[in-house]
Each structure stands twice: as structure tokens, then as C-alpha cells.
């Protein structure tokens, strides 16, 4: 038997002038509050670093650290076509969002090939809030302003050493103005195993929409979208 958990993030009004302030209290339509909060955490962890992965190499050569969530230091290695983002919690970052990151995000872009050649985002000693994230995410252009994302066995480890692993396949549509990303719309699914050993899936049934202006203020929640959450009530297994 399966239990289906549904979260409507925010419906409609996907305007570029929509407020980015986040509501920290979430009301879940389920009695399974612990598992619901775990799934909300997985959705948040995936979404908070998405913007970094969707920017291309040329974007990073034109953007300032103050325009990125958390104001990371940006190291661009042109010969290797690599970007390293380093998050120092002691740095002063004048952004309205207060989520904290430490560690590094490494982005490796294709040295030779077509624009459709994939690029890789790798977590290195990276923490978001009280969670440690490990693994890699792969991105590739599939059409005009369209990007496909895949990843296998990302791991989220809480400060209590509880592990969650998850994989995903998603498609992103970017909205650009003067060659700069101003918004993005995401669809697809994520699945894996939460710390209790139960399998889960997150299906984005209505595109998850986010604004670059919100990310630039370290406000990480989407402005619209709907996710259907499913937890397998069958036999549990150990999450390593």
C-alpha cells in the first residue's frame, strides 16, 4: 500500500516582480508530518543549488558574487573551462535570504564539442543549512533555452547522520532577457530512499517556477508549482 503526499507550493502569478520572501512554516495535507518534512527537505536541497548548475560558463564570466545565492567566491579557470564556487560563512553577504552554505560547488564545462555537450556540477565538502550533500549532477542543452538534468544517488546527510539518497531526471526551460537568465521552469521527477528506509518519489505535476531575482537574494523557494509526493509503505531497507 502507498501513501500519496501532495504539496501545492504556490499557484499562479508567475511574474518577474513577485515577492521573494519565504514562509518558513509549511502546512502539509498529511498526518505523516515527519516523512513530509523529509520530502520537503529533499525538494529544497535539490532546488537550492539548481541555479548554480543551470548557468553556463559565459554566464559566470559576467556575473558578480553578489548576484549568486550566498555570495560565493568565484574562481574561473578558462583553460580548463572550470568554475569553482567557494562558500565562506564568515563573509558578509547583504541578501535577504538567510540560508547558510559552506564548502564548494565545482562546475566542469566541455572543453571541446558542441553546445549540447554535457557539463557537471560536483559537491565538495558542501553543506546547506545542517545537511551535507555529496554527489554529481549532469546538465545538457536539448533545445533553445532548454536544459536536461540527470543525477544518480545524490546523498543528503543530516547533522544527526541520517542519510537520504535520491536520483532524478528533469527538464528546465530558461527565460532569458539580453542573454541573462531571469526565470526558469522545471518539470520531471526525483526518487530515492529516505532515512527511514522507505522508497519515495517526487513528481512535479505542475512546472516549478523560480526567478533569478529571488536566487540573487538567497531566497530559494519557487514562486509557483505543484509536487506530488509518494512514499512506499512496503518493506523498508537500510540507507547507507
Chain segment 166-195, per-residue pLDDT in tens: 999 999 999 999 989 999 999 999 999 998
**Dihedral sign from CA coordinates of 156, 207, 96, 21:** negative
Q: Which residue has the higher pLDDT, 9 or 224?
A: 224
Nearest-angstrom CA–CA distance, 109 and 111: 6
| Residue 52: C-alpha distances to residues 39, 119, 187, 194 (Å) | 22, 12, 17, 25
103-117 pLDDT, tens digit per residue, is 999 999 998 766 678
Q: Helix (H, G, I), strand (E, B), or coil: what is residue 36?
A: helix
**pLDDT tens digit sequence for 99-157:** 999 999 999 999 876 667 899 999 999 999 989 999 999 999 999 999 999 999 999 99
Separation in Å, CA 158 to CA 147, 163, 207, 232: 30, 7, 28, 22
pLDDT score for 236: 53
Q: What is the mean pLDDT of residues 32-55?
A: 92
Q: Are 5 and 38 in contact (CB under 8 A)?
A: no
Backbone angles phi, psi at 213, to 5 degrees: -65, -30
Q: For residue 225, what is its C-alpha cell?
A: 508549482
Confidence class of residue 19 from pLDDT cuts 50, 70 and 90?
low
Vertex 143: Cα angle to 140 and 148 (nearest 5): 35
Amino acid at each position: 500500500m502507498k501513501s500519496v503526499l501532495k504539496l501545492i507550493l504556490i499557484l499562479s502569478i508567475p511574474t518577474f516582480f513577485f515577492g521573494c520572501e519565504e514562509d518558513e512554516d509549511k502546512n502539509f495535507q498529511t498526518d505523516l508530518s515527519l516523512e513530509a518534512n523529509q520530502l520537503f527537505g529533499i525538494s529544497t536541497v535539490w532546488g537550492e543549488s539548481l541555479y548554480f548548475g543551470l548557468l553556463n560558463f559565459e554566464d559566470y564570466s559576467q556575473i558578480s558574487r553578489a548576484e549568486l545565492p550566498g555570495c560565493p567566491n568565484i574562481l574561473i579557470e578558462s583553460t580548463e573551462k572550470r568554475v569553482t564556487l567557494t562558500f565562506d560563512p564568515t563573509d558578509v553577504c547583504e541578501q535577504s535570504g538567510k540560508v547558510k552554505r559552506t564548502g564548494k560547488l565545482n562546475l566542469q564545462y566541455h572543453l571541446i564539442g558542441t553546445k549540447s555537450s554535457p557539463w557537471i556540477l560536483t559537491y565538495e565538502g558542501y553543506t546547506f543549512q545542517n545537511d551535507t550533500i555529496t554527489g554529481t549532477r549532469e546538465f545538457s542543452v536539448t533545445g533553445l533555452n532548454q536544459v536536461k538534468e540527470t543525477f544518480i544517488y545524490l546523498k543528503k546527510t543530516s547533522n544527526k547522520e541520517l542519510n537520504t539518497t535520491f536520483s532524478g531526471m528533469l527538464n528546465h526551460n530558461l527565460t532569458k532577457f539580453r542573454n541573462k537568465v531571469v526565470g526558469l521552469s522545471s518539470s520531471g521527477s526525483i526518487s530515492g530512499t529516505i532515512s527511514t528506509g522507505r522508497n519515495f518519489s517526487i513528481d512535479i505535476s505542475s512546472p516549478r517556477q523560480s526567478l533569478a531575482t529571488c536566487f540573487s537574494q538567497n531566497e530559494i523557494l519557487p514562486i509557483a508549482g505543484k509536487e506530488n509526493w509518494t512514499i512506499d509503505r512496503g518493506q523498508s531497507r537500510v540507507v547507507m
